[in-house]
Homo-oligomer: A and B are copies of this chain.
């Protein structure tokens, strides 16, 4: 296991589906940042499954506690431990450990690697693991916004074959995204996506999709060549999320079909700084942010847990 990410702002997550709970430790958060449990809870509530008929039917409610690192509403510069208890430590809604590995789950590989696996629900490969990430991310996001005016918005760009039309990434707000439960800021597309998901679910099947993200206001100079280039660490972070199969920055895979003369982003003067007219680079050149918005997209495979009967063998 390697459950730690980052060098200076360092996040470690812990917790399975059916132990006492899940959480994270953030070490290296700057001191004197105002921080409350509510700041973090807001993001956990956005993450919460079961908000609609579209997603899993389990009703979860995750209440986060700050165990350390904050006093009188301010960070101390010391490790911030975050914890959200699991409600059902031995749930009845999961049946006993199946004698067969579920297709495209982590059952088989965990068994091979560790010789043991959590009783049910996927253990560390479960989506519950992301609670620690969301909680830690809420702190990072607050700090970046307050100290550098960096704002970050992610949205669902495609679901299955349904893709949102091209949108101006500099104009999408989080409020736009949160308007629908599907989290697609283009309302008509969101509606279409919602229907598709419901239909598919009724058929006992599942869909994949692509999430897009923009980080606005990132100052030039972020990223450490050659192995910790900004896009390299973003790619690692994104591909560490369960069910992800791809990452692209800026023009990404589509950019491979362009010519250099189209793809090169001409420098222009933007106020008191240099900027680029186009942004096929996705805000990164030579592994270092150039001051333009960071743009990237992440591919999620169709959810592996489906209602249909499937083929497998026993261990």
A256 close to B (CB within 8 Å) = yes
Interface size of A as a range: 35 or more
Q: Assess whether A226 is in contact with B129, with CB atoms less than 8 Å apart.
A: yes
Q: Chain B interface: which of A60-68, A146-154, A172-180?
A: A60-68
What 0/1 pattern do residues 11 to 45 of A give for CB contact below 8 A with B? 01111101111110101100110000000000000
Asked whether A101 is an interface residue with its Cβ less than 8 Å from the other chain, the reply is yes
Tell whether, in the assembled complex, residue B260 and residue A304 are in contact, meaning their CB atoms are under 8 Å apart: yes
Known: A101-B274, A104-B285, A301-B251. A16 touches B265 (CB 8 A): no
Binds B, one of A49-57, A137-145, A181-189, A286-294: A286-294
29 A-B pairs whose Cβ atoms sit less than 8 Å apart in the complex: A1-B226, A3-B225, A14-B67, A14-B78, A18-B71, A19-B69, A20-B66, A20-B67, A23-B67, A31-B114, A76-B117, A77-B116, A106-B287, A108-B285, A109-B220, A110-B288, A112-B220, A113-B220, A113-B221, A113-B223, A205-B259, A209-B256, A210-B253, A234-B239, A245-B250, A260-B304, A261-B308, A267-B312, A267-B313
